[in-house]
Amino acid sequence: MDLFDFKDGREGYYGQFGGSFLPEILTATVEELKACFHECKKDPSFWAEYEQLMHQYSGRPTPVTYLPNLSKQLGGAQIYVKREDLNHTGSHKINNVMGQGLICQRLGKKRVIAETGAGQHGFATATMAAKFGFDCKIYMGEVDVKRQRPNVFWMENLGAEVVAVQDGQRTLKDAINECMRDWVSNMADTHYVLGTACGPHPFPEMVSYFQSIIGMEANRQIKELTGGRLPDKVFACVGGGSNAMGIFQGFFDDDVELIGCEAGGLGPGLGKHAARLAYSDASVGVAQGFKTFFLQNDDGNMLETQSVAAGLDYIGINPIFAYLWEQGRVRFEAATNEEVRETLKLVMKTEGLIPALESTHAFAKAVEEAPKMGKDEIILINQSGRGDKDIFTVADALDDAHWREFIKEKAAQYES
Amino acid sequence: MSLKDYIAERKAIRTPLVMTHVVCGYPSFEDNMKELEIMNAHGVDFVELQFPFSEPSADGPLFVKANQESVDSGTTVAQCFDFMAEVTKRFDFKVLMMGYYNTCFKMGHDNFIKRLKEAGGCGYILPDLPIEEADELHALSKQADLTPVILMTPTNTDARLAQLGAASQDLVYCVARKGVTGSKTEMNQEVITFLERCRQATDVALGVGFGVSAKEDIDFIAEYGDIAIIGTAALKAWEVGREEGLHRFFESLGL
Ligand SMILES: Cc1ncc(COP(=O)(O)O)c(C=O)c1O
């Protein structure tokens, strides 16, 4: 399956989804980006350079880990985890960011901007900018700045300027709008490092391309670990859809069931979650530069979204997934905040892994389905990131008294 | 009368023509009507009624706030069309729908065109709808005799401007500078060169907008363009001084 040859339709379209809906002022900039990316994609030495960079700088290939305790406790399928949390900066976001850093170099641009939700993409972009010597500005919704202060701290100390966006719901979508506003002003010297497989063409294709490194490695690794077998099911969490596209691309041509796990928040109902496909509250629309399923009202205005995981808290879904869902190739499920909290506790205690709250959505659905599967069946979960960034949120969720004590003492120290 | 004839007729009275803008439902529809009374008294030729959208990514801070507060206060698309119908009945200036493409897409192209026509609008401006995506909507517009106003920008190549020109009718919207709506544009040689390139690319009237806020800008556009498009500056004047502020602002423009 080649999703990107656009043989049966218009370039940048996946079925009826995708496209490029941008202000005219960006036409030339996006054309330039498209040309540069496609040149790189055709050039085998570019991928080699990229792999080498990821090997040296981010510790790739990341391993696949078998989870014997959890598998045994659930009594069903054998569970394996692809460890994107072991990347430098702690998530899969760096895969896309370093790739776009190379593109930015080729474009001869000196400044990068990025939106961020959980802060992982902003953190990765600030890291890349420091390494490549780019000026860097990160837009982050004010709500997210408040819930992800540790990542903000690192971004600032890596030399990036972090802007707390005050518009709208003050989350990821508003940060994307602010990036667009910056880009239409500064496109001559600025590359917009979009962080997920959303937005106008070529971003969904380009982000998927760099993230495909996850799936390529995972396909090889799982076979090595299981005597040549492929997983029966692969689970990945889906915010915009980049880590899931990354791992799924390793298995599209195989008889493997692919399950995207969205943010079920407080459960179904308008404004209570960020599940575009798993629940039936979303409809097709055009916003933020592309056509896909959005959580919106009848007038086409976007709804509030809710999730314990800032990185999944987004109104729209990757257009490629909207298409693959329609085709029945990828199944979508949602994990609620409550399921995620319980699953996180389980995974920490049984296996000593600390998945990010985002990634825990994938674990939650795998944990639900594993007991119904045979012992000879195989599950692969993409652990997109590590959870220590979420320490404040997790500590609250677990109502940890010792942590609260520590924070109070720390605050008292600062005040004295 | 066709829009082309309307433009020619108004040109004979005063140049440049003037297009102004209000964000529907901000601060309220009643205030919108008061703004329009003043705009009408100062002889504006076109008004854009912006249908508020939750993601106004091409707008600057003041219009972002206006869009947001209007959406939050519950303004609906139906109310905007009703308001447009009232406005077109009451005033002689021409009215354009301005907004983001999702408003149109979500209600369906057919329905959008039908409602716009019924409300007495003469066309629409959708800054996030590139011509590549607009074939169907443009064809429907032609049948209904509505004008899609296409944007030309300084970063467009001559070849692209020619494409945009070929897709245009009656008037185009020349974006005087990079960036979003709101801040001031210095009308300099760069803008002249850009407008000359637009002129090469099309025979239709050139509307010039983004940062138009002073008498010098109007005089500049009289020389190099056809229609001065005034957005944020008028809303700013209203925010500061309501009726009196807006009235003085138009006076200061020599209108
Ligand atoms: C650890 C982690 N996983 C997943 C996501 C969701 O993004 P995507 O769906 O693009 O992988 C994020 C986003 O911030 C994240 O930080």
Does B152 contact A at CB distance below 8 Å?
yes
Alpha-carbon torsion (A32, A34, A35, A36), positive or negative: positive
Tally of domains within chain A: 2
Of all protein residues, the one whose alpha carbon is nearest to atom 1 of ligand 1 is A385
Neighbouring-strand partners of residue B150:
B172
- Residue A219 falls within a domain, yes or no? yes
Buried b (16+ CB within 10 A) or exposed e, A251-281: bbeeebebbbbbbbbeeeeeebbbbbbbbeb
Cβ contacts of A30 within 8 Å, gap of 6 or more: A20, A22, A200, A201, A202
Q: Which of B65, B151, B179 lies closest to A24 in CB terms? A: B151
For ligand 1, mutation pick of A82, A84, A88, A91 (most atoms within 8 Å of CB):
A91
- Residue A416 falls within a domain, yes or no? no
Q: Report which DSSP code applies to A236.
A: E
Verify that A284 and A334 share a domain, yes or no. yes
Q: Report which DSSP code applies to B48.
A: E
For residue A389, the model assigns a pLDDT of: 78
Active-site positions of A read 93, 115, 384
- Residue A1 falls within a domain, yes or no? no
Domain coordinates in residue numbering, chain B: 3-246
Q: What is the DSSP secondary-structure string of B83-102?
A: HHHHHHHH-SSEEEEE--HH
B229: closest CA of chain A, how far (Å): 17
> What are the start-end ranges of the H helices in A79-202?
93-107, 120-132, 142-147, 149-157, 172-186
Ligand 1 centroid to Cα of residue A243, in Å, is 6
Give pLDDT tens digits along chain A (416 positions).
Answer: 799 999 878 999 999 999 999 999 999 999 999 999 999 999 999 999 999 999 999 999 999 999 999 999 999 999 999 999 999 999 999 999 999 999 999 999 999 999 998 899 999 999 999 999 999 999 999 999 988 888 999 999 999 999 999 998 898 999 999 999 999 999 999 999 999 999 999 999 999 999 999 999 999 999 999 999 999 999 999 999 999 999 999 999 999 999 999 999 999 999 999 999 999 999 999 999 999 999 999 999 999 999 999 899 999 999 999 999 999 999 999 999 999 999 999 999 999 999 999 999 999 999 999 999 999 999 999 999 999 878 888 898 788 999 999 999 999 999 98
Q: Judge whether A338 and A41 are in contact, CB under 8 Å.
A: no
A166: closest CA of chain B, how far (Å): 10
Q: B90: closest CA among B120, B122, B52?
A: B120
- Residue A278 falls within a domain, yes or no? yes
Verify that A106 and A185 share a domain, yes or no. yes
Asked if B35 is an active-site residue, the reply is no
Does A19 contact B at CB distance below 8 Å?
yes
Quick one: average pLDDT of B18-24? 98
Q: Give the Cα separation of A75 and A80 in Å (integer).
A: 14
Output A275-284 pairs: Cβ under 8 A, ≥24 positions apart. A275/A332, A275/A334, A276/A315, A276/A316, A276/A317, A276/A322, A277/A317, A277/A321, A277/A322, A277/A325, A277/A332, A278/A332, A278/A333, A278/A334, A279/A334, A282/A317, A283/B106, A284/A16, A284/A17, A284/A322
For residue A147, the model assigns a pLDDT of: 81
Q: Give the Cα separation of A283 and A301 in Å (integer).
A: 11
- Residue A2 falls within a domain, yes or no? no
For residue B94, the model assigns a pLDDT of: 98
Q: Give the Cα separation of B194 and B191 in Å (integer).
A: 5
- Residue A415 falls within a domain, yes or no? no
- Residue A402 falls within a domain, yes or no? no
Does A295 contact B at CB distance below 8 Å?
no
Q: Among B100, B106, B125, which would you mutate to test the A interface (most chain A Cβ atoms within 10 Å of its Cβ)?
A: B106
Reduced to 3 states, what is the DSSP secondary structure of residue B185? Answer: coil
Rounded to the nearest angstrom, the gap between the alpha carbon of residue B162 and the centroid of all alpha carbons in its chain is 21
For residue B158, the model assigns a pLDDT of: 98
Quick one: tokens of A33? 């980006």
Q: Which of A28, A173, A300 lies closest to B105 in CB terms? A: A300
Can you give the pTM of this predicted structure?
Answer: 0.97
Q: Which of A20, A187, A300 lies closest to B102 in CB terms? A: A300
Q: Is the CB of A121 under 6 A from ligand 1?
A: yes
Enclosing domain of residue A332: 59-90+212-397
Q: Do A286 and B105 touch (CB under 8 A)?
A: yes
Q: Per-residue pLDDT tens for B56-65?
A: 988 999 999 9
Verify that A174 and A299 share a domain, yes or no. no
For residue A110, the model assigns a pLDDT of: 97
Of all protein residues, the one whose alpha carbon is nearest to atom 6 of ligand 1 is A239
Q: What is the DSSP secondary-structure string of A68-83?
A: HHHHHHHTSSEEEEEE
Position A113: which residue type?
A: I
Of all protein residues, the one whose alpha carbon is nearest to atom 10 of ligand 1 is A242
Q: Is the CB of A387 under 6 A from ligand 1?
A: no
Q: Least CA distance to A173: which residue of chain B? A: B55
Verify that A173 and A245 share a domain, yes or no. no
- Give the CATH number of the domain where residue A124 resides: 3.40.50.1100
Neighbouring-strand partners of residue B246:
none
Ligand 1 centroid to Cα of residue A394, in Å, is 17
Q: Judge whether A295 and A276 are in contact, CB under 8 Å.
A: yes
B106: closest CA of chain A, how far (Å): 6
Verify that A224 and A298 share a domain, yes or no. yes
The torsion of the CA quartet A25, A27, A29, A35, rounded to 10 degrees, works out to 180
Quick one: tokens of B15? 């140049």
Output A265-271 pairs: Cβ under 8 A, ≥24 positions apart. A265/A305, A265/A306, A265/A307, A265/A308, A265/A336, A265/A337, A266/A306, A266/A336, A266/A337, A267/A336, A270/A295, A270/A297, A270/A303, A271/A303, A271/A304, A271/A305, A271/A306
Q: Is the CB of A117 under 6 A from ligand 1?
A: yes
For residue A7, the model assigns a pLDDT of: 87
Show residues of chain A in contact with B76, CB under 8 Å: 299
Q: Give the Cα separation of A275 and A267 in Å (integer).
A: 9
Verify that A238 and A278 share a domain, yes or no. yes
Cβ contacts of A188 within 8 Å, gap of 6 or more: none
What is the CATH topology of the domain spanning B3-246? TIM Barrel (3.20.20)
The one catalytic residue in B5, B30, B31, B48 is B48
- Residue A308 falls within a domain, yes or no? yes
Q: Do B180 and A25 touch (CB under 8 A)?
A: no
Is A405 buried (19+), middle (13-18) or exposed (0-12) by CB count in 10 A?
A: exposed
Q: Judge whether A295 and A281 are in contact, CB under 8 Å.
A: yes
Q: A379: closest CA among A61, A83, A76?
A: A76
Q: What are phi and psi of B48, to 5 degrees?
A: -90, 125
